Structure 1
């Protein structure tokens, strides 16, 4: 994604990434009928979806990270003048459908979903070659699944259809739709993708491994433990799949963390309560967080990890997530022997053994081999290993941590109000959750 410049082609706003010879379509532009008849334009549209997802303060990476990070205590707010972030930090009734962060994540995710669906439904129109069409569909299905699977972590229900006054679907229906899309995409990848398509798409996202990783993630959320383990086993943990950046399109988290005007690390406890704080020897702590001046400024923790500069790439998923998915799936199936084996793979992993250099380098698990104790240790390691990956709110609910109505709450909301961007245009928008 280099040196972006605008030109008009066929009445469509197209942007070119000249240094890496990739192009993308602006999803706000007029798309039909021009896009549906061109594989090149559908490839460009995939690149546009990828960029919308991964860049900018209004994009999904920034908004999902901050909805989780400020809700669960991973982040502190440096300037309450950032009203959207401040409302997320306060939580409860202080955040409503007019919140900027909520409207940004919803609007941009729905735009990504619309364009991904255009790719899926137009692939067979744009080409007579089945492999080329199915390759386009694989990318479209991946991004549509990512949209639905991400939004359902923040909202109780979402619409799955792109129609006027679409009805909202509950969590189980949405997760099944996500899994169906990813399973279809996986079939196309396994059959072999066309180089005509893969050569034109931004290559930092490894589509095959990313589909398996998302299948593992969302099968776990759906309670499909055998399927989650199988999908996680299919991921090559030595492969990096990332969102990439350059000087003109910077890492959105690094850019805003570096501004020292919005958010930073709250502390070095990773939003964990006293009984679950990181081991002092855990090498993941200095990987993610530093305290530059502990004597004169003992509360000024700073983020490093995947955010020390604007050019560093953000992982689509971390290898450790796959190990922890298996550990949790085994534990919830009461196969504690295998659960501890997978947990130990995370605890003893060194930085050199991890594709992204995330390693605890700790001794193996020595606690009680009983379900709740093992799950507590898995939760601890998810919060540390997967720090600021936007999975913390989902994890907090799934592991039954104290919620906003409980004593010593570890999150300030369970789900968010529906954005006004949807309510003002959809008469079927449900009532907002109380918390």
Structure 2
């Protein structure tokens, strides 16, 4: 990520995040000791844009970032990844699963704390951008910021049974389903300001390149509508996504791809469970599936697979969503209808996709599925191809629940609440049994 606005704003945000992680309890007040300066930042387009750019950094930055912690937590408990070094205690807890995962886990604490920090900062941008004189710039800025607020709420809702209802001391909690509804409301409000018009070019020149704002908002809307079981909305939103357009988190020599930086380059944190991506039974990838050599490289020693895919290089971009996810959303929605036959058409778009022509190079390159499939068979195939297509995306645990897989096939179902929350908020719910 380059110096798009002003290094001062990014440094200020990063320092605030670092201070937040050192707090002994998470009260979610995020008081800025430089309040007068903060007030000035929140009244100008330059200042607000700087804060918004900081959200992307906080979401994708290394071990502190929501993205890496989400991928790690999800990967260990769903058997996508294998722990290389048992001296990494937070990773060991998740790899072991069950009661070994508790409120001390640093990965979960980082995910929880920084997701809430993103929501807090995003609210500051969204609320204050509405006061800017340039309404087109403000609408685009709100839309860009809303991506990270929706991702933060969505991540919390994927991993915890209940999430904070807002930001503040002794905040109450809402159900995860209400969390997904809230994320969709954030997206809808953002889309209302930018639909039917181009994103302001001045804004695009001031934020990191890579993210297609409107397509990303619709893709996230489709994702979270699917997760909450609103299939009509999920299909409508999925149909609004242009599958030929890339949307990605971009990295450079100053801001590194977190998967490569932490795991691939060191080979000392995690690696793929195996060349089958940890899948078993009917979900095992076909021998000729070209997504396997995309995501993994063969190795001579256990676990006989090494990270590749979107963690293959220090500056490699990571998709915000894959076009294949959107196609599989359509397939799943159609498969859950009374007449699921149309789902096979969408599923085959993923099954037969040529990696050479795929937007991000992810393609199975397999022959089309033929014959007649009932609803259960189609859903099993869709689950299989989601696990392969969306490997290491942080989405598998939600899929395992939605497709009804037994708890015995994963190491946790929901996560315990971090002690930093429980110690500072008497409204924190009881931890889940598993």
**Which residue is 2:183 aligned to?**
178
Contact 1:54 1:60 in 2 (8 A): yes
**Which residue is 1:51 aligned to?**
57
Contact 1:256 1:263 in 2 (8 A): no
Contact 1:25 1:47 in 2 (8 A): no
1:320 aligns with 2:324: yes
**Which residue is 1:285 aligned to?**
292
**Which residue is 1:383 aligned to?**
387
Q: Select 1:373's aligned residue among 377, 381, 385.
A: 377
CA shift at 1:234, angstroms? 1.3
**Which residue is 1:141 aligned to?**
146
CA shift at 1:26, angstroms? 5.4
CA shift at 1:191, angstroms? 4.2
Q: Which has the higher contact order (CA 8 A, sep 6+)?
A: 2
Contact 2:119 2:149 in 1 (8 A): yes
Out of 152-161 and 269-278, give the one that drifted further.
269-278
**Which residue is 2:272 aligned to?**
265
Contact 1:74 1:388 in 2 (8 A): yes
Q: 1: distance between equivalents of 2:168 and 2:282?
A: 48
Contact 1:76 1:263 in 2 (8 A): yes
1:40 aligns with 2:46: yes
Change (3 A) 1:298 1:63: closer
Cα offsets for 1:119-158 (capped at 9, x unmatched)? 0111133x22322322222223222111111111000010
CA shift at 1:368, angstroms? 4.4
Out of 188-197 and 335-344, give the one that drifted further.
188-197
**Which residue is 1:225 aligned to?**
231
Q: Select 1:337's aligned residue among 338, 341, 347.
A: 341
Contact 2:272 2:278 in 1 (8 A): no
Structure 1 gap ranges (5+): 17-23, 404-408
Cα offsets for 1:29-69 (capped at 9, x unmatched)? 64631222111010011100001101211211110001111
Contact 1:25 1:41 in 2 (8 A): no
Q: 2: distance between equivalents of 1:227 and 1:112?
A: 26
Change (3 A) 1:14 1:290: closer
**Which residue is 2:419 aligned to?**
420
Contact 1:27 1:112 in 2 (8 A): no
Q: TM-score, normalised by structure 1?
A: 0.91
Q: Select 1:150's aligned residue among 135, 147, 155.
A: 155
CA shift at 1:376, angstroms? 0.2
Out of 367-376 and 109-118, give the one that drifted further.
367-376
Cα offsets for 1:308-349 (capped at 9, x unmatched)? 111101100001001100000111123312111100111011
Out of 242-251 and 101-110, give the one that drifted further.
242-251
Q: TM-score, normalised by structure 2?
A: 0.91
Q: 2: distance between equivalents of 1:122 and 1:95?
A: 39
Q: 2: distance between equivalents of 1:140 and 1:308?
A: 28
Out of 137-146 and 281-290, give the one that drifted further.
137-146
Q: 1: distance between equivalents of 2:309 and 2:188?
A: 32
Give the 4+ runs in structure 1 shifted more than 6 A. Answer: 3-7
Q: 2: distance between equivalents of 1:361 and 1:275?
A: 19
CA shift at 1:298, angstroms? 5.4
Q: 2: distance between equivalents of 1:424 and 1:6?
A: 36
CA shift at 1:196, angstroms? 3.0
